[in-house]
Every structure is written in C-alpha cells, then in structure tokens.
Structure 1
Amino acid sequence: MSDLKTQLKEQIAEIDWKDLIPHAQRDAIILVDDNLDLIEVGSAIALNDTKTVENWISEQLIQKPNAEQLSHWNSQPTTQFTTIIVQPFVLIKNCT
C-alpha cells in the first residue's frame, strides 16, 4: 500500500453530522457512493487524478450533497458518516 493510502487509512473516522456542519457550510463536503472505496477516492483526489475523479463525478458516484440530503441530516444531527479529510475537502460516506 502506498504511503498516501496508509496515511489516509489512519485518518478514517466516524463522525456525527453535527460535527460536519461547519464543513457543509463552507461547501467542502463530498459524498462518496457506497460502491466506492473511500481511500481510493481520497487518494485519487489527493494525487489530482483528474480523469478518474471526473469519471466518478459524471457517474454521480461522488458529488456535493443536495439540499434534500442536507436538510435530512440537519434534522438528524447524530447521523454518522465515515470520513477522511483531503484538503480542502471532507469526504463522507454513509456508515454501514
């Protein structure tokens, strides 16, 4: 495993939505589809792998949360997400 992937793996955390709200307010949340590996997505973003990231965006596998999702999570602030930070973004994935 590359050093970057090892570093990202060590940073994975489960965080309540209420602690992610400041990041959502600065439009820094990226929602990762359940079918993607959070470490792979973080690695691709950190390494500026534009082709892969653009493909995921076009397939709606990574995206900014929509207003309905934000409203739902704001009404349930203890909803948990698996997260990693890849500056300036916080990548989130629904806890399973």
Structure 2
Amino acid sequence: MTNQDLRAELTENLDEAEWEWLVPHMLRDAVIVVNPELDLLDVGVAIASDNVSEVQIWIDEALIAKPSTTQMTEWNSDRAKRFNTLIVQPFVLVQEKAAA
C-alpha cells in the first residue's frame, strides 16, 4: 500500500471524541498525544508505515508522547473535553481541541 493509499484510508478514520470515550483506550495504554503543531494524518501515516526515523524524531522532541499525569488529571476533571482522534491500530492518536 502506498502512503497515498494509506493516507486516504486513515482519513476515513479521523474523528472527534470526548475524553470519556477515550478512557478505555487510556486504560490499555494505547493513547498517544500528538502536539497540535503536527498534522494528525502525517503522524498516523508515519506510524502505520513503520517510519521509525520520523516517529523517533517526534518522540525525541516530545511532539508525540503518552499522556502526562497532569494531562490525565485535567481531562478526568473535564470528561466532556473534546479531541481530534485517529485510530492506527493498536494506538489511538489524539490532539486536544481548543476550547470553543
């Protein structure tokens, strides 16, 4: 599958979710927070195509990471908090949506 095909397939998986819906994924340690300066689809394509070098750069620069304790505490106190989400098995990539 080409990156374009992969991108098209992943585009169909882009969604929006409340924190409440993400908690089960959080409990299985599958949530990855993507910095808002990155494109969620770009990250999804890199992970799905096993682009280790690009993903490692983002990890090293803390642009993608597991949620911090502070973030989880904040999100647990606002269960209606909304996120842009992208499922790339076995992970759920999330970007916090700005408050409206």
1:5-48 superposed Cα distances (whole Å, 9 cap, x missing partner): 01111111110000000000111000000000000000000000
TM, length-normalised to structure 2: 0.93
* Distance (whole Å) between structure 2 residues aligned to residue 68 and residue 11 of structure 1: 28
* Amino acid corresponding to residue 75 of structure 2 in structure 1: W
Matches within 5 A, 1:37-48: 37-48=39-50
Structure 1: 5+ residue stretches without partners: none
Structure 2: 5+ residue stretches without partners: none
Residues paired across the two proteins, number? 96
Please report the RMSD computed on the Cα atoms of aligned residues, expressed in angstroms.
1.0
* Distance (whole Å) between structure 1 residues aligned to residue 6 and residue 79 of structure 2: 31
Within the candidate set 1, 20, 31, 1:18 is matched to: 20
Q: After alignment, is 29-38 or 1-10 more displaced?
A: 1-10
TM, length-normalised to structure 1: 0.97
